[in-house]
Structure 1
Amino acid sequence: MAASLSLSVLLLSFVSLGVALPREAIFDAADVLSDSGFVSMSLTLEIVAETLLEQSPSATVFAPSDSAFKKSGQPSLDLLRFHFAPFPLPPPSLRLLTAGATIPTMLPGQSLTVTTSDRLISINNVRLTGSPIYDDGFLLVYGIERFFDPAFQLNRQRPGPDSNSSCSGRNHTASSSDSFDQAVQTLKSGGYSAVASFLGMQLSGVAEHGGITVFAPADEMVMNRLGDIGEYPAFFRRHVVPCRLLWNDLVDFGEGSELATFLEGFAINITRSGGVLTLNGVPVFFPDVFFNDRVVVHGVSDVLAPQENAVVHVDDEHNLFDPSEF
């Protein structure tokens, strides 16, 4: 099973993570909502804009109808956060998501779930308007007929018992599988050619038992941060975890939890900043870009660098990756 995205639009919003959405865009979106018959959400957007949107460089808002507000009353701030995703989701990207893919929200630790992924898209079993009511490339607003239920759950296959933080970076040997090739092809088509090429050459035999999780920075970020070719093996090793961890597994980890990687001595520290899950301080900007029975890929907004005072040891004798491949 796989979930893939065309991420070019998403990447633009994360080049400058500290830049907030302009107030003009928020007020423009509120005006369009009002003109489109979403008066209650229009007024609510203006009220919560400073709290929710002005701290984010981009967002997707799912706007319940006036009848939903009339039936449910004024929602709590937490319920409103559950209707905001901290990045833009244009229709082509939404249509590429398979049922079961998750979308993080501005409510810490809570995600939405795609329940259909054809022309008529639904999330948490609530249908979206076919086209955004408002779309300026950074802020998108979709209409929905009722509020999302934070308790909604979709039954799907979860990772096996080996998918946990106790996994260590041991060298596995297994034959290449079609499912692994799918991951490589998805990465190549989604703006991750550098990571895809590396995985295709170096990791086609390691996704066995508990599988692997790849935290993939986009090509632009990789090229900006890579130096000498001799650094490539260690660079990529620290972005791969020898466990299969879906988004729902990641958000279950407590603050300060650490994940071992294939780079000996390099760990990924899980924290949260403004409700956004971060890995060594780098936000996960789109989870579950790809997942199947062996491989999970999450998009991250930058490369994962060693944390301060961390000591990284590379055992050349048992190095999983061969520098001569590059």
Structure 2
Amino acid sequence: MAARASLLQLIILSLTILSLFSLSASLPTESILNAVETLSNAGYVVMSLTLQVSSEAVLTSQCRSATVFAPPDYSFSRSGQPSLSLLRYHFSPLALSVDSLKSLPYGTKIPTLSAGKSLTVTSFASDDRISLNDVKLSRWPIYDDGSLVIFGIESFLNPEFTSTIQIRNPSFDVGCVVVNDYPNTLSKGFMFGEASETLRARGYSVMAAFLDLQLLGFIGQPKLTVFAPVDEVMVNRAGDIPDYPSLFLRHVVPCKLSWIDMVNVNQGTELQTYLEGFGMNVTRSSDLFMVNGVQITFPDMYYSDWLVVHGLPEILPVPSTPEHEGSDPDDNKTDDKFPKASIATSKPKS
């Protein structure tokens, strides 16, 4: 009876994925048009026109998320129309919420769409306003639809900014351990409802449905990080019902890793996931973080004292085995058994 109910849940999930086939692989035009209108209504008329005219030149076709830092009209009047390079410096390829920005310590680097240039967090936890490059942000986003976020700023951001305060990053112990024999503690209040709602609102409905299925209902230590692929890349897996457990488990690690935790993780750290034999390799390039080569585009989408969810633009592929060499890695079938005890290891810095 229980097996039949689980199968029914998986079929319902498959139908959920199929319903998402119309989603775009980049920021939808509707998001940009809505943002243009909202900016204009909020008094950021010049930035509204700038976004409308130059969005195609700034945002690439692969940009599935972005945060825009919008200067006020008087900054444009004083400085004139910015160069394309300066304009790109005001766009980050990450969707950054207020909570995510507030959690970042002084000195954290935020990548931008201007090649090789990053923004620097210049506010402390005790400050009442977030600042980047010593420029204060609006307290709340002007626009936020889950994939495109826009904050107002007091003036243009300076690409040549350098901080005079030196911050030492603390050493960090990953401590990711998958335990085999554990009691079920989810019934004591560790539920995924709030996280699922957040994922659905942000365009990650399929991973929200996986959480609702309680595929991790056996865990005993509720410290988790979920790396959630966005809906539009999940539609290709709609018919692979037997692979759903494998698909979900390989995107979950048994420890809580916020964005700032990842800043302090050594380059090349290997994290074990809940899929036996499948690991995540954490790397960093130009202040962007990647797991198995897939960029994290929505850091700290959801954050609690026991669960963190980061958004991904792609599914983490299963590596090819010798007998499957040359085939699509995602077509390789893997063992969906629950994992045995395993520990994350960290490769030394070179």
Give the TM-score of the pair, scaled to structure 2.
0.55
Amino acid aligned to 2:66:
A
Within-5 A mapping of 1:65-84: 65=72, 83-84=90-91
Among 286, 290, 315, which residue is 2:302 paired with? Answer: 290
Among 155, 159, 163, which residue is 2:174 paired with? Answer: 163
Closer/same/farther in 2, CA of residues 287 and 104 from structure 1, 3 Å limit: farther
Distance in 2 of aligned mates of 1:203 and 1:111: 40
**1:197 match:** 212
Tell me if 1:124 matches 2:135: no
Amino acid aligned to 2:255:
C
Distance in 1 of aligned mates of 2:233 and 2:257: 23
**1:181 match:** 190
SS class of match (2:102): coil
Query: Aligned pair count?
Result: 285
After TM superposition, give the deviation of residue 100 of structure 1 in Å. Answer: 3.0
Contact 1:212–1:243 under 8 Å retained in 2: yes
Within-5 A mapping of 1:162-311: 162-164=173-175, 167-171=176-180, 173-176=182-185, 181=190, 183-191=192-200, 192-198=207-213, 200-203=214-217, 205-208=219-222, 211-218=223-230, 221-225=233-237, 227-253=239-265, 255-271=267-283, 276-309=288-321
Amino acid aligned to 1:207:
Q
Distance in 2 of aligned mates of 1:232 and 1:53: 33
Structure exhibiting the larger radius of gyration computed from Cα positions: 2
After TM superposition, give the deviation of residue 42 of structure 1 in Å. Answer: 9.3
Map Cα deviations across residues 9-49 of structure 1 (whole Å, 9 max, x no partner).
xx99x9425x899xxx89x97xx88xx6787x799989x98
* Gap runs ≥5 in structure 1: 1-10, 321-326
**2:16 match:** none
Closer/same/farther in 2, CA of residues 37 and 250 from structure 1, 3 Å limit: closer
Contact 2:137–2:153 under 8 Å retained in 1: yes
Contact 1:59–1:87 under 8 Å retained in 2: yes
Q: Please give the root-mean-square deviation of Cα atoms over the aligned residues, in Å.
A: 5.6
**2:112 match:** 106
Closer/same/farther in 2, CA of residues 115 and 239 from structure 1, 3 Å limit: same
Map Cα deviations across residues 234-288 of structure 1 (whole Å, 9 max, x no partner).
2222111122111112244455443221222211233457764332233322111
Contact 1:257–1:269 under 8 Å retained in 2: yes
Distance in 1 of aligned mates of 2:285 and 2:50: 24
Contact 1:64–1:143 under 8 Å retained in 2: yes
Among 46, 65, 69, which residue is 1:62 paired with? Answer: 69
Contact 2:275–2:339 under 8 Å retained in 1: no
Closer/same/farther in 2, CA of residues 298 and 179 from structure 1, 3 Å limit: farther
Map Cα deviations across residues 265-324 of structure 1 (whole Å, 9 max, x no partner).
21123345776433223332211122222221112223211134599974848569xxxx
